[in-house]
Chains A and B, each alone.
Chain A
């Protein structure tokens, strides 16, 4: 049991003392998570809106593809991105493999279908006539879409939180395309894998606690945001 105590103590010590190496790891973790979440929103939210709020040819196929993509293990996405970015791969000339950009690309491929799928579900819960109502007051297609996203705000926020959660706790893809290079592409999850491989279970667990704290803070922020809007929500 003392390894758990040790982990808590280590986590507290790490946070209080800090170290440039640890802050670097956390900074890269946030950079990748934020970039790939924002990219996931930019790509996934319009896709999710289309799937959830309109009927078009090929929609079922797109929905099925999105659901499949949500279920692809991150290591497979990592493998594909690695092969594409490899020096022998089609985009090898860009020299992106083992960089933070490569990690953001792989994680965006993970966050996009999650955000698209959940936004789609959230948007589908908004009555279609609400869009008709907005249109009748002069809204353009884009303004309609923004209104629907605003109406489905809680579901959309949950989608964003899920996307962020998936990329911040994902390890398979970032390990493969980032390479866990110290001071460059090491993030909390790959550091946890490494520390546990090295037998430093206490340290690994401490990093795990930090990761949990970040996720908790993110969810806490969203909950607070929801509450601050609640007085205008449906009772």
Chain B
């Protein structure tokens, strides 16, 4: 979702979109247009007390779904009025691809190995740890695999596979999906069969489908906490260290708004940013959703 709150920015974006559409049509016409297409009206430049520039963050749907950005972005913009943040929430894989195409200025994702490769290949300037949350295994109250109250994630997955209990996999190459695949590998199982549904969708849709199918899945705690009221699911396994999920921030090399990207990365690992993360979610869920751990 592209959240743009400033109306003047919205006007500029609308104009830019119109231009892009016109250019695409020109391209589609294969040069049949003799003259370059010009917009009828010149772009309006509204009077602004402070000149702001847009910083595009590519992040994951699970981060967006957790609601963290709703407090994080206003806090950052209050400290840095020269920047406006827009968030593109996609899967980790697509977020990294967007970064490679330099369509975003900074990434906030949670797939450490891929992130390090991303930086090593020169697409990102550097990577810093920001925070972690943890994954939980959730399932129906009836618990057909009999794994409730466990703390061994791999053993629980093995039990699910043995019972051929329904398991919904995100199957979307996301950080959560990668964590799930690592756990299956640890359990020594290659999941497949009628009980294992790979759906290629986001965390929210996956939880909804799991609830409807009375199955199990692995979810990040943030999304789980924000959605649990509408689901017929309970936590069956939590607390296993392998379920921890590290987030990193990476400014994109040669991005559009390098200063903005750097400013965001520096802010989120600063005491101010870390404090916002530490307190987020406590008022609503009675517990924080993320644990800040910037060095």
Contact = CB atoms under 8 A, between A and B. Distances in A.
Q: Do chains A and B touch in the complex (CB under 8 A)?
A: yes
A201 interface: yes
Given A194-B172, A197-B172, A98 B93 contact: no
A230 interface: no
A190 B96 CA distance: 21
A197 B200 contact: yes
A194 B201 CA distance: 7
B58 to A, nearest CB: 10
Contacts of B173: 198-199
Nearest to B205: A179
Q: How large is the interface on B (under 10, 10 to 19, 20 to 34, 35 or more residues)?
A: 20 to 34
B82 interface: no
Given A180-B200, A182-B171, A198-B173, 17 more contacts: A97-B212, A97-B213, A98-B212, A175-B201, A179-B201, A179-B209, A180-B199, A181-B197, A181-B198, A194-B200, A194-B201, A197-B91, A197-B93, A198-B200, A199-B173, A200-B93, A200-B97
A125 interface: no
Interface in B170-207: 171-174, 197-202, 205
Nearest to B90: A197
Contact of B213 (A98, A183, A196, A201): A98
A198 B93 contact: yes
Most chain A CB within a 10 A radius of its CB, from B98, B199, B213: B199
A184 interface: yes
A180 to B, nearest CB: 5
Interface string B149-184: 000000000000000000000011110000000000
B192 to A, nearest CB: 9
B268 to A, nearest CB: 23
A199 B200 contact: no
A181 B199 contact: yes
A contact patch SS? loop
Given A197-B91, A200-B93, A201-B97, A86 B212 contact: yes
B contact patch SS? mixed
Contacts of A87: 212, 214, 232
A98 B98 CA distance: 30
Interface in A167-215: 175, 179-184, 186, 190-191, 193-194, 196-201
Interface of A: 86-87, 97-98, 175, 179-184, 186, 190-191, 193-194, 196-201
A174 B173 CA distance: 21
A180 B202 CA distance: 11
B199 A179 contact: yes
Contacts of A184: 197
Interface of B: 90-91, 93-98, 171-174, 197-202, 205, 209, 212-214, 232
A2 B91 CA distance: 23
8 contacts: A97-B213, A175-B201, A180-B201, A181-B198, A182-B199, A199-B90, A199-B95, A199-B97
A97 B209 CA distance: 9
Contacts of A179: 197, 199, 201, 205, 209
A197 B91 CA distance: 6
Contacts of B214: 87
3 smallest CB-CB distances across A and B, nearest first, come from A199-B97, A194-B200, A199-B94
A200 B214 CA distance: 31
A87 B171 CA distance: 23
Contacts of A86: 212
A190 B94 contact: no
Contacts of A194: 171-172, 200-201
Nearest to B198: A182
B55 to A, nearest CB: 21
Nearest to A89: B212
